[in-house]
Amino acid sequence: MHVVTLDSDTDFDGWRKAARALAMNDVRPADVSWRVKGAAPDLFDDQADTQLPEVPKGAFSVPASFMELAESAILHSDPNRFTLLYRLLWRLRTNHDLMDIATDPDVAQANALARAVRRDVHKMHAFVRFREVGRERESRYVAWFEPEHHIVERAAPFFARRFADMPWSILTPELSAHWDGSRVSFTPGVSKAEAPTEDRLEEVWLRYYASIFNPARLKVKAMEKEMPKKYWQNLPEAKLIQPLIAAASRRTTEMIADEGTEPHKPQKRVEETAMTRQPKAHAHAAVESSRDVEPADLQTLREEAASCRACPLWKDATQTVFGEGPAHAPLMLVGEQPGDKEDLAGHPFVGPAGQMLDRALEEAGIDRSKVYVTNAVKHFKFVPRGKIRLHQKPATPEIKACRQWYERELAAIRPALVVAMGATAAQAVFGKITQVTKNRGHIVDLPEGAQAMITVHPSYLLRLPDAEAKAREYELFVKDLKIAAAALKRAHAA
């Protein structure tokens, strides 16, 4: 029996190195016992680690999809994950296409683990709520969160980007993450018995704070993962601890938890179609354009899109904001991308542009609850400015990368009419840059079968500075929507 002890629950490099050496020596999965330093004793607890066999000469390449999957699945709390992943790796030596067999029990299980991990990361991104603790120069933003899996290191960089301007700490039972304005650090968690309630957060933090900024307690391995090696020459005291202490007492000038960061409501389930689930042929791939997109039900699409990495916008956004509405809506409205409110709420057009849209739809005699509303780009693109997130227009590569989701929504819903609101939506719907002012209000045929029309984006109306122009443009917007309503009636009668 080979016994391998990993440095931590998230020691992917340790697992990879050992797994490679073992697999290349044809050590059977049943002959390897994986354990984690400091974990509860197991059967082989009194047995020392066995020496890893020499890695024989020759290449052993595995598909990138496996490595990507393994990096997520290894963060799952299932104690058997190391064995499962090793079994997959071992089998890949003789079946290079194994990862394509979604029905294989090992592949399916690893996929399920990775999905659960991604969901957990997403939940942490969406549900962590900071509270200011300490006064004046001592203040810091602190949150308590209980992830299901070992995801703190994976989830922390998001908060560093999102809340770059203020020192924060996220306490969890296993590992706590801290941001001092320039780097993320990790210290041991807060025991569950100490779990702070809203009222006790400050008290628990102060006690914890007193104990953590002690070099011996820093989680060096975890920090290494988040920080380029070059910062680590003089580890740990001089370079790391001082800034941490300094940051903890730095005056915070901005609040994190403004009204816009209210906990978001759970995603509404859209009505499911009667269609059966389809293989995830397009998942995560950047597809520029395809005429033959097979329909998948909306819930499947929504779940796949939740972990879309086809462009980098997912990194800073809170979540994918997928389309919503009846599964066979006759009208599909396409906007540009979710805004700040939509990003937090997880629903399209719920902010100021959404209110403008609702008003105009009502005036045009269109019932929004019967419309499928979506966006060309499904992640919020912004630049942080203090506590505000400034909307940025999506670029063509982002629109192209996201177009697969629009195409698949279109194929699933098969609306009679698609209305593209604004230039970004028009680019997605027509697959090329298409001028709004020149083409608005005309019903045209799409190669996919539906008809389409272009109009302005409701945010354009919100941005107009002069009230007269605003009123005039609003009337034109309603007029376009009435053209859409008439086209729908004709389509219905035909």
Contact status: 409 vs ligand URA (CB under 6 A)? no
Contact status: 348 vs ligand URA (CB under 6 A)? yes
Nearest-angstrom CA–CA distance, 437 and 249: 54
Task: Give min distance, CB of 440 to ligand URA, in A.
Answer: 16
Contact status: 340 vs ligand URA (CB under 6 A)? no
Task: Give min distance, CB of 77 to ligand URA, in A.
Answer: 35
Nearest-angstrom CA–CA distance, 264 and 319: 11
CB of 76 or CB of 457, closer to ligand URA: 457
273-281, 342-350, 444-452, 480-488 -> range binding ligand URA (CB under 6 A): 342-350
Sheet of 451-455: strand order equals: 371-375, 331-335, 417-421, 451-455, 444-445
Three-state SS string over 5-37 comes to EECCCCCHHHHHHHHHHHHHCCCCHHHEEEEEC
CB of 154 or CB of 457, closer to ligand URA: 457
Nearest-angstrom CA–CA distance, 418 and 409: 11
Nearest-angstrom CA–CA distance, 256 and 130: 7
**Alpha carbon of residue 410 to chain centroid:** 23
Contact status: 339 vs ligand URA (CB under 6 A)? yes
CB of 147 or CB of 339, closer to ligand URA: 339
Contact status: 398 vs ligand URA (CB under 6 A)? no
Sheet of 140-144: strand order equals: 131-133, 140-144, 168-171, 175-179, 184-188
The residue within the footprint of ligand URA, chosen from 353, 399, 416, 436 (CB under 6 A), is 353
Site string for ligand URA, 374-393 (x = CB under 6 A): -x------------------
CB of 295 or CB of 351, closer to ligand URA: 351
Task: Give min distance, CB of 127 to ligand URA, in A.
Answer: 21
CB of 124 or CB of 371, closer to ligand URA: 371
83-91, 189-197, 312-320, 344-352 -> range binding ligand URA (CB under 6 A): 344-352
Task: Give min distance, CB of 380 to ligand URA, in A.
Answer: 9
Other beta carbons within 10 angstroms of residue 245's beta carbon come to 12
Beta bridge partners of 440: 454
Task: Give min distance, CB of 423 to ligand URA, in A.
Answer: 11
Residue for token pair 């209210």? 262
Cβ distance 235 to 220 under 8 Å?
Answer: yes
- In the region spanning residues 298 to 337, those forming contacts with ligand URA, defined by CB under 6 A, are 335-337
Nearest-angstrom CA–CA distance, 318 and 303: 15
Other beta carbons within 10 angstroms of residue 161's beta carbon come to 12
CB of 204 or CB of 421, closer to ligand URA: 421
**Residues in the site for ligand URA, rule: CB under 6 A?**
335-339, 342, 348-349, 351, 353-354, 375, 459
